[in-house]
Structure 1
Amino acid sequence: MTRIKLIATDVDGTFLNSQRQYNHTRFDQQLTRLTAAGIHFVVASGNHLGHLEKVFAPTPRVQTFVAENGSLIVNQGQTLLETPVDATVVKQVVTAILADVTLRPQVLRLSGAHGTYINQTDQPTDAKSQAYFFNNVVRVPDLTQVHDTIYKINGEWPNESIQQLAAKLNARFPGQINAMASGFGSIDIVAAHMNKAIGLTELAKTWHIDPSEIAAFGDNDNDREMLAHVGLGVAMQNGTDSVKQVANLITPADNDHDGVLDVIEAILADEV
């Protein structure tokens, strides 16, 4: 196959295990080998930048992030591209979601350049998880009055309904948003033309890397476009069926058993 020049990975359910950890020593050794081989390593996640930087602080050589499902791309501390949701669309979507009992989530968030905004009265299903994923929470009385660059709208619903709700949201706002299930009962809503595949492709262009020269790992619906778009799309053994359907490869091991690191090892050995 075409030689891999860039490896991109989702984080939760993919690179991290169920305890939200990864093998620092093994991965750091792989980073040395990836650098020697001229292969870039990129984090491609729906999470906000500050959280991703915290997760990868134990391996500080990781400095390239496609955050917010592609809406914010940062390399070596410099913003290369940002694609916020139009402010008018944000207000329309938030107003519609909060006014419709069939759409209203347990908690609704706006992920912005200067904070993650949550209504003062909203209570997350899992306060510990919120504290883990969002280290920049700003409580506000009215989400429609937030004035910031908004990369993503995020909400929590019962996990069994998120695929259907994402489809309902996309049908409600055609050509205005891209709503996708992102795991843990969560839906991410970004600009209509935005996803991880678009963000990763734009980043790769700056390094003159073709999508066929990219390997990408993912486990959930917001990874589908990315895995389908690259030369080697790798779905996690623990991933959703919809992601596995578009993948070129399924990891022999799951995220609790170094599934991503095992395949990186195979890429370095030119075995895939």
Structure 2
Amino acid sequence: MNQKLIALDLDGTTLNNEAKLSQKTIATIRAAIKAGHIVSIVTGRPNRLSQNYYDQLGLTSPMINFNGSLGHVPHKHWQYEYQYTFDRNIVFDLLKHQQEFNIYMIAAEGKHLFLAHQTTSTQVGFFPTVLTHDQQLSPTTLTQNPTSMTIAVDRPLQKKLQAYIETHFGNDVDVAPWGGPNSVLEIGTKGVQKAVGLERLANYYQIDRQNVIAFGDEHNDNEMIAYAGQGVAMSNATDKLKAIADDVTALNNDQDGMADYLAKTLKLA
């Protein structure tokens, strides 16, 4: 058997529009694993918001979170676990500029870190609407360097804030706007994206690039889809990702497009 490493983005790819795993998706992934293939989640989400899917799929492989910045095996120690971080002073600087850029929320995260500061209650997915006392972000509470920073900002000032971060801290971090309706900037360690994590997985399992199949739908999947021997864009993916990809699924994420494609490609019963 030609063993494949299958890398799965979550939102807009493996998950349906209600952010759930369908029974078909779960059955297909389990069949792929049973057939001897390796399946890994490679997501922009933090580990705290992806471990439930990992468990539902019955995975035992390493999981890549924060767009490549964290690689770990949930529930156990993995000797090759890694985490990229950046200087927490960048977070402190942006806290000082909250009013200037009309920032609603700043969240600093890592494997065991979640702190946020908000000026108004935000309705940005992935974040609590009300923060508990021990989730409050301040120069006193942030005692470690974060892996990821997420900023919800007034849309007219989004580009200005991005330019400010790139001018002042561009040697250390990359800034990427989220796709979709929310005006959010995500900040991570310079040069780290999903392909960094995927390459580590391929090396760990000693699987050649041509035997890597990766699925994605958004701009944060660009490098991963380009890296994979078989980079597959969802039919609901961005036009840019479709242009980079080797193939495009016939069905979208709400129609089990990834599972349908995988079942046909791997000839799973």
Superposition TM-score, scaled by structure 2 size? 0.83
Residue 246 of structure 2 aligns with an amino acid whose one-letter code is N
Letter in 2 for 1:147: T
Q: Distance in 1 between matches of 2:233 and 2:70?
A: 23
2:204 paired residue number: 206
How far has the Cα of 1:198 moved from its partner? 0.5
Deviations 1:74-99 (A, max 9, x none): 13533433233232xx3125414751
Please report the RMSD computed on the Cα atoms of aligned residues, expressed in angstroms.
3.1
Q: Which residue is equivalent to 2:119?
A: 122
- 8 Å CA contact retained: 1:217, 1:260: yes
- Please say if 1:156 is aligned against 2:148: no
Answer yes or no: is the 8 Å Cα contact 1:115–1:136 preserved in 2.
Answer: no
Structure 1: which 5+ residue stretches go unaligned? none
2:91 touches 2:108 (CA, 8 Å); kept in 1? no
- Show structure 2 runs of 5+ residues with no match: none
Match of 2:14 in 1: 15
Shift of 1:53: 0.8
CA distance in 2, matches of 1:137, 1:199: 33
Report how far residue 67 of structure 1 moved.
Answer: 0.7
Matching of residue 176 in structure 1 with residue 172 in structure 2: yes
Describe how 1:243-262 pairs up with structure 2 within 5 A.
243-262=241-260
Distance in structure 2 (CA, Å) of the matches to 1:166 and 1:225: 21
CA contact (8 A) 2:86 2:173 kept: no
Size of the alignment, in residue pairs? 263
Partner residue in 1 for 2:190: 192
Structure 1 residue 234 displacement after superposition = 1.3
Tell me what 1:83 maps to.
83
Q: Is the 8 A contact 1:219 1:238 kept in 2?
A: yes
Deviates more, 1:143-152 or 1:184-193: 143-152
Aligned identity (percent) is 23
